[in-house]
Amino acid sequence: MATAKPVTLRHPRSGPGRIVRRVALWGIVPVVLALAWFWGPMTSYARTGASYGARMACSCRYVAGRTLSDCRRDLEPGMAMVMLSDDDEAKSVTARVALFAGQTATLREGEGCVLQSWAD
């Protein structure tokens, strides 16, 4: 008489794939909640940083006559995320914080560098 081998039954939803999905879910959920909670302050700080960068770089570039790369060194510590670009024709500098904010400052004769108005 032949003896039957014991059969081990696996639950269809078990295994390493399920563990990976759970870890990914519990890792992503806090990040999404934190972004939702801090989105307003982050965009406000980004807009302020972009405005500061645009105004300072515009003055440096078009009032002082220096290069944009030289003006970049004048920004405060912590401004590494602010990207600067200039438009020689319009005499303006645009500063951007990726995904959050951007601001442009333009040289006006007799007024210096002036920021665009903040339209929400």
Query: What is the overall mean pLDDT for the chain?
Result: 87
Tens digits of residue pLDDT in 66-114: 999 999 998 888 889 999 999 999 999 999 998 889 999 999 999 999 9
pLDDT band for position 11 (cuts 50, 70, 90) = low
Tokens of 48: 């302020």
CB 103 within 8 A of CB 50: yes
Report DSSP letters for 16-61, one per residue.
HHHHHHHHHHHHHHHHHHHHHHHHHHHHHHHHHHHHHHHHHHHIII
For a pLDDT cut of 90, what percent of the chain falls above it? 54
Query: How far is it, in rounded angstroms, from Cα 17 to Cα 60?
Result: 56
Query: How far is it, in rounded angstroms, from Cα 105 to Cα 115?
Result: 4
* pLDDT beyond 80 at 3: no
Query: How far is it, in rounded angstroms, from Cα 74 to Cα 29?
Result: 39
* pLDDT beyond 90 at 51: yes
What are the C-alpha distances in Å from 76 to residues 23, 51, 56? Answer: 39, 13, 10
pLDDT at residue 13, rounded to an integer: 60
Average pLDDT on 51-63 reads 95
CB 86 within 8 A of CB 105: no
* pLDDT beyond 70 at 120: no
